[in-house]
Amino acid sequence: MPIIPAGVRGARITGWGSALGHKVVTNNDLAATMETNDEWIRERTGIHQRSIGGTTAELSIASGRAALEMSGVDPASIDVLVLATTTPDRTVPATSANVQNALGLRCGAFDVNAACSGFVYALVTAHGLLAMGAQRALVIGTDTLSRIVDWTDRNTAILFADGSGAAVLEATSGPGQLVSWDLDADGSLEDLLFAELGENVQMNGKEVFRRAVRIMVDSATKTMQHAGVTADQIALIVPHQANIRIITAACERLGVPMDRAAMTIEYTGNTSSASIPLALFHAADAGRLKQDDLVLLVGFGAGMTAASALLKWGAL
Ligand code: COA
């Protein structure tokens, strides 16, 4: 399991931004077109409403622009753009090409597809590039799953939504924020959640649920072990916002109380690659994070991927 070698140049998040689809869809809106109801969706998933609409590039540009503005960094000085998405706008080129151009970046740009674990995959990848000499990176997680959901399928339509979260990362002279990380995948489970090219998402919800708790706990445990920290030292856990019952079960097994969990699922639904950054930056905007707090990001998704990262908030 990889451990960050001593002396590696670190990085810190110096700006962030978020964007949601422009149209709010409530559970009652869904109940008007399919056999479901508000009470069932709230109880079984924790979702009250979600936002849909916009392309992956549009949402990425909005969150990316906000992150650049907050950091005060000149877009032309960004050295690399990493866009995590499982719903690119086109097969070729990567959606990051469109985003790079619109934001005035003059650097390498590529997409990463690790489904709902995507943002953590992209964040870890960007840290690697910064350790190799890049000075500044823009990392974005965006998905527009509403475009590949069958809106007559109550199994999936109630869960998925659109959004984007972005972070500007800048190299530091010290160890930086990333304390430890873990990236996992088990491709033998690919049939549990998939979409063929040009087709809608299909999901075995029960099985995904069963596996999700285990793989989140495994990944988070590895990341805490790498860092030599225990659950009681975690100031904030930022779990993938898929289902409140998955989050509750994972937190319980990890020994992190729910009042230390970042939560946006109520109003975002499952925004896949955007889920973790939206929840992280919502918590940061709400003043829930202070210097040196240990923040544990943990996600899972189709593939089946899992990813976690431990950040020391604000560290240099
Ligand atoms: N509205 C109302 N009733 C529904 C419903 C809906 N949207 N979906 C299913 N039901 C009914 C079922 O028909 C079943 O009825 P029955 O008991 O009369 O047979 C009952 O509710 C329970 O269905 P079940 O499929 O067992 O529900 P569940 O508790 O497993 O919840 C999911 C379904 C999809 C919400 C849940 O399995 C889940 O969240 N799985 C993980 C999915 C996920 O996270 N995917 C993204 C991964 S990144």
Q: Does domain 178-312 have CATH number 3.40.47.10?
A: yes
Residues in the chain: 316
pLDDT tens for 8-54 read 999 999 999 999 999 999 999 999 999 999 999 999 999 999 999 99
Distance between CA atoms of residues 193 and 183, nearest Å: 19
Does the C-beta of 161 come closer than 6 Å to ligand 1?
Answer: no
The class (CATH top level) of 11-171 is alpha beta
Q: Evaluate whether 275 touches 301 at the Cβ level (below 8 Å).
A: no
Specify the long-range contacts of residues 30-36, CB closer than 8 Å, at least 24 apart.
Answer: 30/154, 30/157, 30/158, 33/151, 33/152, 34/151, 34/152, 34/153, 34/154, 34/157, 35/154, 36/154, 36/158
Residue 240 annotated among the catalytic residues of the structure = yes
How many Å lie between the centroid of ligand 1 and the Cα of residue 34? 14
Q: Quote the pLDDT of residue 1.
A: 65
The yes-or-no verdict on residue 257 having pLDDT over 90 is yes
pLDDT digits (tens, 9 = 90+) for 137-171: 999 999 999 999 999 999 999 999 999 999 999 99
177 CB within 6 A, ligand 1? no
The atom number, within ligand 1, closest to the CA of 302 reads 48
Q: Are 54 and 154 in contact (CB under 8 A)?
A: no
Would the CB of 301 count as within 6 Å of ligand 1?
yes
Confirm or reject: Cβ of 44 under 6 Å from ligand 1.
yes
150: CA distance to ligand 1 center in Å? 16
Quick one: pLDDT band at residue 316, thresholds 50, 70, 90?
A: confident
Cross-strand partners of 239? 298
Tell how far the Cα of 41 is from the centroid of ligand 1, in angstroms.
Answer: 9
* pLDDT at position 3 over 90: no
| Mutation pick for ligand 1 pocket among 50, 240, 243 (CB with most ligand atoms within 8 Å) | 243
Whether the domain at 11-171 and the domain at 178-312 fall into the same CATH topology: yes
Q: Is the pTM of this model over 0.85?
A: yes
| Catalytic site residue from 98, 226, 270, 282 | 270
The predicted structure's pLDDT at residue 90: 97
pLDDT tens-digit map of 243-252: 999 999 999 9
- To 5 degrees, how large is the angle CA 222–CA 11–CA 170? 145
Average pLDDT (165-191) is: 96
Map out the domains of the chain as residue ranges: 11-171, 178-312
Q: Is 48 a catalytic residue?
A: no
CB–CB of 16/64 below 8 Å?
A: no
State the DSSP H helix or E strand holding residue 283, giving kind and residue range, or none if neither: helix 275-285
Report how far ligand 1's centroid is from the alpha carbon of 155 (Å): 6
- Comparing 38 with 1, the larger pLDDT belongs to 38
Ligand 1 atom 4, closest CA: 36
Given 127, 226, 240, 282, the catalytic residue: 240
What is the structure's pLDDT at 158? 97
More confident residue, 37 or 2: 37
pLDDT at 37: 97
Q: What is the pLDDT of residue 24?
A: 98
Residue of the nearest CA to atom 46 in ligand 1? Answer: 242
Which residue in 207, 190, 203, 209 sits closest to 156, CA to CA? 203
3-state DSSP of 201-220: CEECHHHHHHHHHHHHHHHH
Q: Is the CB of 194 under 6 A from ligand 1?
A: no
Q: Contact, 200 vs 159, CB < 8 A?
A: no
Among the options 116, 127, 226, 243, which is catalytic?
116
Question: Does residue 270 carry a catalytic annotation?
Answer: yes
- Which residue among 206, 244, 275 has the greatest number of ligand 1 atoms within 8 angstroms of its CB, and so is best to mutate? 206
